[in-house]
Amino acid sequence: MAHYDGVFNTLGLRDWCDAGKEDGPMTMAQLLAQAKGADPNETTGPLPFPSLDSLHDACSRIPQTREMTAGLERFFLDIKNSLKVVLDPITQPLSWMLDGALWLFTTIPWWVLIPMLIALTWYVSRSRAVTIFVALAFVFLGAIDHLEVAIQTLAIIFVCTGLCVIFGVPIGIAMSKNDTLQKGTIPVLDLLQTLPTFVYLIPLIFLFSVTESKLYGIAIILYAIVPVIRLTDLGIRLVDKDVIEAADAFGMTSRQKLFKVEIPLALPNIMAGVNQTIMMSLAMVVIASLVSAPGLGVLVLRGIRNLEIGVGLIAGLGIVLLAVMLDRASKAALNRVDVSRSTR
């Protein structure tokens, strides 16, 4: 006897319930109860929530919860092959880009690469303090033999952030122009932003081989693209309506309006989005090391796995250092484009 037998009996569904009765494998709860020597069908104890499992006890036609998770898994496995046919070629360039960037960054000798990166910092930030800080940080990372891994992480960040901007900004612009699209996209962005970072990896591991670089590339891009989309949308919507009206009154086409008015005026917001995107891809790059992403994350992972406290902490510090470098450099770039400043 189960708790909800009475319900099915009074509804007259007893025959229907028992018609397809077959003994499936026992659940863990049933096993435990059996081990304790109790009758698994006994109706003692408090009334359980009428969940699938407890209804199943009373009527075997009701599926158990484990069948739901199994069904989802089956569904994934079923569509896996056809999905792979489509997704594999589309995402293949990502693998090439990541592998190419990693190869490039690790092949260029350090005495060429580091000055180049410092020059790049100066070019985007035009700030002496930031440039000096970046130079010192590289020297420090080099001195403690973490330069190569840090450079690997940096290469991944560059590729992923670049792609986030390439895809995110147009999506944001489209959203700002179309309210329906915005309403449809926002829940997806919310989902991407709140989904636990590990969960990103689950469907990806099903789809792609763990050794492929695009696996972590996709995970990082999906996670980090959200702020640049949101802030592009917001930035363009916040452009002063009076200025837009003036642009209309002088007969600008929508293309002229977009490139001459809206994007330049939304640029501070878009840059803030890019800054956030960089920070988020840096956060994801550690988790991505679980699925073969090279870089500082691997050392952090080693620290956790083997309890090599020193290795993990130093690698963590290296990531913080990278984060501060990227943040300061992109913020300085943001300040430079800020329209409230007079010189450009």
Partner 1 sequence: MTETTSKPEPQIKIRGLYKIFGADPERVLPEVQKGMSKSEVLETTQHVVGLRAIDIDMYPGKTTVIMGLSGSGKSTLIRHLNRLIEPTTGEILVDGQDVMKMNPAELRELRRTRMSMVFQKFALLPHRSVLDNAAMPLEVREVPEEERHAEAQKWLARVGLDGYGASYPHQLSGGMQQRVGIARALTSNSDIMLMDEAFSALDPLIRTDMQNLLLELQEELHKTIVFITHDLDEALKLADHLVILKDGEIVQQGEPQRILMHPEDPYIVDFISDINRARVLRARTVMTEGITPDAVVHGDVDVNDTLESVIARAEGRTDQAFRVVRDGQPVGHLSMTDVVLALVPTDASEQRQATV
**Of these, 218, 261, 271, 298, which contacts partner 1 (CB under 8 A)?**
261
Asked if 229 contacts 189 with a C-beta cutoff of 8 angstroms, the reply is: yes
Least Cβ distance, residue 27 to partner 1 (angstroms): 57
Does residue 59 come out as left (phi exceeding 0), alpha (psi in the -120 to 50 range) or beta? beta
C-alpha 195/C-alpha 191 separation (Å) is 6
The span of 1-9, 18-26, 237-245, 281-289 binding partner 1 (CB under 8 A) equals: 237-245
Site for partner 1 contains 47 (CB under 8 A): no
C-alpha 225/C-alpha 185 separation (Å) is 13
- Which amino acid, one-letter code, is at 1? M
The span of 60-68, 147-155, 230-238, 240-248 binding partner 1 (CB under 8 A) equals: 240-248
Asked if 316 contacts 259 with a C-beta cutoff of 8 angstroms, the reply is: no
| 262: DSSP letter | I
Question: Distance between alpha carbon 226 and the CA centroid of its chain, in Å?
Answer: 8
| Token pair recorded at residue 69 | 């998770």
Site for partner 1 contains 26 (CB under 8 A): no
**Of these, 107, 194, 211, 340, which contacts partner 1 (CB under 8 A)?**
340
Site for partner 1 contains 339 (CB under 8 A): yes
Least Cβ distance, residue 239 to partner 1 (angstroms): 10
Residues in the chain: 344
Site for partner 1 contains 85 (CB under 8 A): no
**Of these, 79, 243, 304, 313, which contacts partner 1 (CB under 8 A)?**
243
Residue 293 or 334 having the CB closest to partner 1: 334
Residue 189 or 236 having the CB closest to partner 1: 236
Site for partner 1 contains 256 (CB under 8 A): yes
Cβ neighbours for 163, distance < 8 A, ≥ 6 positions apart: 94, 97, 217, 221
Residue 87 or 265 having the CB closest to partner 1: 265
Least Cβ distance, residue 270 to partner 1 (angstroms): 13
Least Cβ distance, residue 242 to partner 1 (angstroms): 4
Cβ neighbours for 125, distance < 8 A, ≥ 6 positions apart: 131, 328, 329, 332, 333, 336
Site for partner 1 contains 255 (CB under 8 A): no
Number of residues that bind partner 1 (CB under 8 A): 20
Query: Of 175, 188, 262, which Cα lies nearest the Cα of 222?
Result: 188
Neighbours of 45 (CB within 10 A): 7
Q: Where are the alpha helices (DSSP H) in 208-253?
A: 213-237, 241-249
Cβ neighbours for 41, distance < 8 A, ≥ 6 positions apart: 1, 2, 57
**Of these, 264, 290, 324, 327, which contacts partner 1 (CB under 8 A)?**
264
C-alpha 233/C-alpha 17 separation (Å) is 54
Site for partner 1 contains 82 (CB under 8 A): no
Site for partner 1 contains 49 (CB under 8 A): no
Neighbours of 164 (CB within 10 A): 26
**Of these, 93, 248, 259, 306, which contacts partner 1 (CB under 8 A)?**
248
Residue 81 or 342 having the CB closest to partner 1: 342
Contact residues toward partner 1 (CB under 8 A) are 240, 242-243, 245-246, 248-253, 256, 260-261, 264-265, 339-340, 342, 344
